[in-house]
Amino acid sequence: MIKNKLTCFAASLLALTSVSFLAGCAESYDVKLTICNWEDYIYLGGKEDGVKVKGIVERFQDYYAETHDGKKVKVNYQTFSTNEELYAQLKDMNADLICPSDYMIQKLANEDKLIPFSYDDANDKYSASLKNWDENGSPFIRNRFKNEKLKNGKSFLQYAVPYFWGTMGFVYDSEYFEEEDLSSWECLWNTESKFQSQFKLKDSVRDTYLTGIFHVYKDEIDALDKTAADYNEKLSEIFNRCDDYTIDAVGKALKETKKSGGTVRGFEVDEGKSEIISSKAYHANLAWSGDAVYSMDCGDEVGKTLNYIIPEEGSNVWFDGWCMPKGANQELAEEFVNFICRSDNAALCMGEVGYTSPIVGDEMWEFVNELYAADDEVENKDEVDLSFYFGKEAKILIDHEERGRQFDAQFPTEEELARCCIMKDFGAQQTKVDLMWQDIK
């Protein structure tokens, strides 16, 4: 009998907990949207003067209710920290929207894991459901990525709507290094004692590989005609080389930087952006433009002036874009992308994240002016023309002292961007690249 009672008790306890658990889950909603984004990569709300400000996700929920007769959407917002992690977990996530980087988008699209957006290749236009992108997308970014073709001959934009973009360069302590010191990637192979153990590179083969490419093919790159129309195309071809000879040569070149007396003291992917702010022992860090903005902002707070430079041979221009994995709720996903492409929302996210949004509407231009335009008292001002990027008359006055800093990291010049290339997936050479990378470390 006692046993029976116990069993009864246990069973009822179990039943109770499961009921309450189910009840907890059964929050009422009509549709559900699962988003998987990078960490710290969206405006999630905050407090302004003690008043809670809604984040993008909540704003979207409100917007959806307004436009769909009070229907409720539940947004399940998840994060990931590397493209590779996203790739590995894609199946289990059941996400409707993901935000991988260019080379991963390429890989996923080539492996037929993505649903295409309704994009009209010939006219470079999405359907009405993405009209905010068509209205606000920067013409420069559109041109750049429209021409980037996938294996099946379709455009990049078919599978991804750009969300943020940026470049890669050096963040450096302007008291230790002069701009000329780091104006070429060759500084990594400089044997002067000033350069010894002064750099940290990325602990990610995709990013550090390019520094080797610019060294190995330096002569060929210098011989290119920079004014030619197909300059970027030719540079991209060199930039994306990954034949056996290149992999070997890049591996050797990188190994040289790392040996004792070399310029590279270590690799990092996350701690470098804060380390460079306080570091006394080394003074330059290979950084993505958004991280560079973060480092420079923090440096300003503690009185250390950091600068950002894209070396003259060229660099990488990358973007992260919204993609729909197979099985996604297409209509709802497009609605969210359209919402976040609204100029005011994009400005909110850009202010939070530090990378550059490809959205250029009026609100964005206002935001940029508010952030960077020099005060009237400043005497030495540079006029910078961003018309090519904003697709309309867009001139801004920048304090001369602030050049080569946050503003230039977020908005590189047209000429700088002409020498930045888009990375391609290593494809079948990936294993060889991985082995080369292990050999370096």
Partner 1 sequence: MEAVVRKQRRFNFRGSLCIPYFVFMALFVVFPLAIIVYYAFTDELGFFSLANWATVFTTRKNWEVIGQTVIISAISTIICLLIAYPIAMLLSNKKFNKNKVLVYIFLLPMWINFVIRTIGLKALINGLTFALFKFELTDKYPLVAIVLGMVYDYLPFAILPLYNQMLKMDKNQIEAAADLGANPFRVFYKVIIPMTVPGIVSACMMTFMPTMSSYVIANKMSENKTSIIGNLVAYWFADSTSDLRFNIGSVISLVMLMIIGISLVLEKTLGNKEETQKKGGIW
Angle at 106 between CA 105 and CA 112, to 5 degrees: 90
To partner 1, the closest distance from the beta carbon of 434 in angstroms equals: 5
Q: Is 84 in the site for partner 1 (CB under 8 A)?
A: yes
| Cβ neighbours for 427, distance < 8 A, ≥ 6 positions apart | 242
Per DSSP, the three-state class of 32 is: strand
Using CA atoms, how far apart are residues 394 and 384, in angstroms rounded to an integer? 8
* Residues numbered 265-284 forming contacts with partner 1, rule: CB under 8 A: 265-268, 280-282
Helix (H) or strand (E) holding 199: strand 199-202
* Residues numbered 247-266 forming contacts with partner 1, rule: CB under 8 A: 258, 260, 264-266
Site string for partner 1, 279-308 (x = CB under 8 A): -xxx--------------------------
Using CA atoms, how far apart are residues 409 and 201, in angstroms rounded to an integer? 18
Q: Is 127 in the site for partner 1 (CB under 8 A)?
A: no
The site for partner 1, by CB under 8 A, has a size of: 33
* HSE (side-chain half, CA atoms, 13 Å) at 392: 8
To partner 1, the closest distance from the beta carbon of 7 in angstroms equals: 13
To partner 1, the closest distance from the beta carbon of 85 in angstroms equals: 7
Report in angstroms the alpha-carbon separations of 16 from 2, 4, 149, 168: 21, 18, 56, 55
> Residue 75 burial by CB count (10 A; 0-12/13-18/19+): exposed, middle or buried?
buried
Q: Is 197 in the site for partner 1 (CB under 8 A)?
A: yes
To partner 1, the closest distance from the beta carbon of 258 in angstroms equals: 6
Q: Is 93 in the site for partner 1 (CB under 8 A)?
A: no
- Kindly report the backbone phi and psi dihedral angles of residue 291, in degrees, each rounded to the nearest multiple of 5, phi listed first: -65, -35
Q: Is 435 in the site for partner 1 (CB under 8 A)?
A: yes
Q: Is 85 in the site for partner 1 (CB under 8 A)?
A: yes
Using CA atoms, how far apart are residues 6 and 309, in angstroms rounded to an integer? 71
Q: Which pairs count as long-range contacts for 153-158, CB under 8 Å and 24+ apart, including other chains?
A: 154/109, 154/116, 154/121, 155/119, 155/121, 156/102, 156/105, 156/106, 156/321, 157/117, 157/119, 157/124, 157/126, 158/116, 158/117, 158/119, 158/121
Q: Is 107 in the site for partner 1 (CB under 8 A)?
A: yes
The stretch near partner 1 (CB under 8 A) out of 142-150, 155-163, 385-393, 427-435 is 427-435
One-letter identity of residue 359:
I
To partner 1, the closest distance from the beta carbon of 39 in angstroms equals: 16
As a whole number of angstroms, the longest Cα–Cα distance in the chain is 93
Is the dihedral angle over the CA atoms 127, 129, 135, 137 positive or is it negative?
Answer: negative
Q: Which is nearer to partner 1, 12 or 81 (CB)?
A: 81
Q: Which is nearer to partner 1, 2 or 428 (CB)?
A: 428
Q: Which is nearer to partner 1, 200 or 419 (CB)?
A: 200
To partner 1, the closest distance from the beta carbon of 200 in angstroms equals: 7
Q: Is 204 in the site for partner 1 (CB under 8 A)?
A: yes
To partner 1, the closest distance from the beta carbon of 205 in angstroms equals: 8
Q: Specify which residues 243 forms β-bridges with.
A: none
Among 63, 77, 87, 365, interactor with partner 1 by CB under 8 A? 87
Q: Is 438 in the site for partner 1 (CB under 8 A)?
A: yes
Angle at 56 between CA 146 and CA 157, to 5 degrees: 10
Q: Is 79 in the site for partner 1 (CB under 8 A)?
A: no
Closest CA to 186 of 316, 313, 315, 317: 313
Among 200, 273, 419, 424, interactor with partner 1 by CB under 8 A? 200
Q: Is 6 in the site for partner 1 (CB under 8 A)?
A: no
Q: Is 441 in the site for partner 1 (CB under 8 A)?
A: yes
Q: Which is nearer to partner 1, 184 or 204 (CB)?
A: 204
Q: Which is nearer to partner 1, 148 or 275 (CB)?
A: 275
Instruction: Give the interface with partner 1 as residue ranges (CB under 8 A).
Output: 82-85, 87-88, 104, 107, 197, 200, 203-205, 258, 260, 264-268, 280-282, 428, 430-431, 433-435, 437-439, 441
